[in-house]
């Protein structure tokens, strides 16, 4: 399951050393390097020091919880964040996504599932885990109206203004842009993000779409994504006009 000759680095943040030990072992078998932090303050310091490719972050920690760590990270970084939650509490999960998290899993979890879902994030976001491509194979910039996405650098722009997106937000937008006249159901979007069978919810997708709309609205985009009631979402006209839905 090794995804690269140059392994990615994952920061594991949990106040329970047993959980960290389980994940260190599971990721080691997958050929992925890990570093550990036992609390939020240590996590912030290690992100700055080691620049990891992914942060796996427990929500419920003493002193500084995972949601606060996420807030602080998102002020300066777009590093993917994968939440661990000790409660099956949708409020925590949705808030984590709205703060900029990419995925979550509820304890007790399968270490193999955490590894698989982490690999899915890394394949989308970590350049050193992609297959080498020559100049002729470089992915072209995708454009629709005032929107442009660069799959190589994972950057999004609206009329020349760069918009910082998480890995999941970028992937949702790229999915919609791949079929600009097509309506995608929430299940279809989930399948594009994780593959069939992963336990994301409709409400989680709605939270990611709200994040996209909010971020693009800050640079004047009001017609990025249209909602089709009872069906799902499709890309808007991206012309700067008022949204249809």
Over the stretch 79-122, which tens digit does the pLDDT of each residue have?
999 999 876 566 677 778 788 888 888 888 899 989 988 988 88
Q: Rounded mean pLDDT of the chain?
A: 84
Whether pLDDT at 133 is above 60? no
Over the stretch 160-196, which tens digit does the pLDDT of each residue have?
999 988 888 888 999 999 899 999 998 888 877 765 4
Return the pLDDT at 58.
Answer: 94
Residue burial 30-43, b: 16+ Cβ < 10 Å; e: rest: bebebbbbbbbebb
Distance CA 155, CA 174 (A): 11
Domains of the chain: 9-129 (3.40.50.2300), 137-235 (1.10.10.10)
Return the pLDDT at 55.
Answer: 97
Whether pLDDT at 149 is above 90? yes
Over the stretch 33-64, which tens digit does the pLDDT of each residue have?
999 999 999 999 999 999 999 999 999 998 89
Average of per-residue pLDDT across 186-207: 70
Whether pLDDT at 203 is above 70? yes
Whether pLDDT at 128 is above 70? no
Return the pLDDT at 197.
Answer: 40
Return the pLDDT at 132.
Answer: 34
Return the pLDDT at 137.
Answer: 44
Q: Whole-model pTM above 0.95?
A: no
Return the pLDDT at 3.
Answer: 45
Whether pLDDT at 134 is above 50? no
Return the pLDDT at 194.
Answer: 65
Using 50, 70 and 90 to split pLDDT, how confident is the model at 24?
very high
């Amino acid at each position: 399951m090794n995804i690269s000759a140059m392994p990615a680095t994952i920061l594991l943040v949990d106040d329970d050393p047993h959980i960290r030990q389980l994940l260190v072992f599971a990721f080691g078998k997958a050929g992925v390097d890990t570093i550990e932090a036992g609390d939020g303050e240590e996590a912030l310091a290690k992100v700055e020091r080691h620049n990891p490719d992914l942060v796996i972050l427990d929500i419920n920690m003493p002193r500084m919880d995972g949601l606060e760590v996420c807030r602080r990270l998102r002020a300066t970084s777009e590093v993917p964040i994968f939440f661990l939650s000790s409660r099956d509490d949708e409020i925590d999960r949705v808030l984590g996504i709205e703060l900029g998290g990419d995925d979550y899993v509820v304890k007790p979890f399968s270490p193999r599932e955490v590894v698989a879902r982490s690999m899915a994030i890394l394949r989308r976001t970590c350049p050193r885990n992609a297959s080498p491509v020559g100049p002729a194979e470089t992915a072209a910039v995708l454009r629709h109206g005032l929107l442009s996405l660069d799959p190589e650098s994972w950057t999004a722009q609206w009329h020349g203004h760069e918009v910082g997106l998480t890995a999941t937000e970028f992937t949702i937008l790229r999915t919609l842009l791949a079929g600009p006249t097509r309506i995608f159901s929430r299940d279809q979007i989930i399948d594009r993000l994780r593959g069939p069978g992963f336990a994301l919810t409709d409400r989680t997708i709605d939270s990611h779409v709200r994040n996209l709309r909010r971020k693009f609205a800050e640079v004047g985009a009001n017609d990025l994504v249209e909602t089709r009631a009872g069906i799902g979402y499709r890309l808007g006209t991206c012309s700067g006009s008022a949204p249809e839905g």
